[in-house]
């Protein structure tokens, strides 16, 4: 495979930008979470790309990726639970409507 590392980094950057745009512009809290997932994944892709091109002999980067995936899974579980709780309260998942800090 003679794809330079830069291609992977740019791909990850594009995906990160898409995820960020989604997280910033969409009103629906679930889609905001999905945008954050996209950002997470692009970051992990970066990590794996660096591992493949630079430090193939040591599995540390893969461990980091696994930890990141685990954290992302935990984050999405808690985030979605929060979304459901917020929906129960406001009867909406529109992030623009969640202005109050008190319940």
Site for other proteins, residues 23 to 82, rule: CB under 8 A: 23-28, 30-31, 33-35, 37-38, 41, 44-45, 48-49, 51-54, 56, 59-60, 62-63, 65-67, 69-78, 80-82
| Contact status: 101 vs other proteins (CB under 8 A) | no
Cα 40 to Cα 55, 65, 72, 99, distances in angstroms: 21, 10, 7, 26
Q: Pick between residue 1 and residue 99 the one whose CB is nearest to other proteins.
A: 1
Pairwise CA distance, residues 51 & 55, whole Å: 5
Cα separation, 56 vs 65, in Å, equals 14
Min CB(12)–other proteins separation in Å:
9
Compare residues 51 and 99 and give the one whose CB is closer to other proteins: 51
């Amino acid at each position: 495979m003679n794809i330079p590392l830069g291609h992977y980094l740019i791909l990850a950057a594009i995906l990160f930008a898409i995820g960020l745009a989604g997280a910033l512009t969409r009103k629906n809290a679930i889609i905001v979470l999905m945008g954050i997932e996209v950002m997470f994944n692009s970051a992990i892709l970066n990590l794996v790309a660096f591992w493949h091109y630079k430090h193939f002999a040591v599995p540390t980067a893969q461990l980091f990726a696994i930890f990141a995936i685990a954290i992302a899974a935990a984050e999405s579980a808690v985030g979605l639970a929060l979304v459901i709780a917020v929906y129960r309260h406001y009867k909406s998942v529109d992030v623009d409507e969640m202005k109050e800090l008190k319940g």
